Amino acid sequence: MKLLRYLANLGYGSRREVLAMFADGRVTDVDGELLYGDDVRAHHTVRLDGAPLDPAPGVFLMMNKPVGVTCSAKDQGKLVYTLLPPRFKLRSPIVSTVGRLDRDSSGLLLLTDDGTLLHKIISPKSKLPKVYRVTLARDLRGDEGEVFSSGRLMLDSEETPLLPAEFERLGDREARVTLHEGRYHQVRRMFAAVDNHVVTLHRERIGGLALNGLPEGEWRLLDDNDRQQLFG
């Protein structure tokens, strides 16, 4: 792909804006030689203002999403894109969230511009386990594990029962739940079905990937080893 289109797709600006970058001599190779919009070069050999380009297409990353941040590119308020380089929202294709964590939930969030990978992760066929830690408004009543693992729990407005989910009691008002599907607000609705209310909800793990100390509000790129770990 010609560099003019390539840099525009990476979110550096409109084609007119990127063309001006070439005209101003801001785009070079690693040796400082000027490059032009019609040139075709490997991603890692291109520099803009002397700095390497943003990650190449096929970017895959994890974020520790804080409470109060929305998984959207268009909603009002603070969005996940405010925690990423501004150009990530302007890329074509855009770096999208893999599924969602609602505004009041925190924890592990995956993002990618690879549509094939995104659909592989969220596909019901993958059944990737997703692990959540919750705190509750009322004491656990004692039968949550049996109800959640039964494969018979029906949520309001749903036509099929939930897949069995694992439940671990961590305290009178604290638990860990592992899901193998991803329905709308599922954990919150599951506890509502057993007469409780989720106060805090934090996703700890997806498949074999965990936050592993990633600070809240921070993100890191994932590599091929991480992909293998995700599906391992």
What does the DSSP assignment read for 19-52?
HHHHHTT-EEETT--B--TT----GGGEEETTEE
Please state, in angstroms and as integers, the Cα–Cα distance from residue 154 to each residue in 92, 146, 185, following that order. Answer: 39, 14, 14
Catalytic-labelled residue, pool 102, 114, 139, 226: 102
Q: Is 39 a catalytic residue?
A: no
- Amino acid in the structure at residue 136: L
Return the active site residues.
102
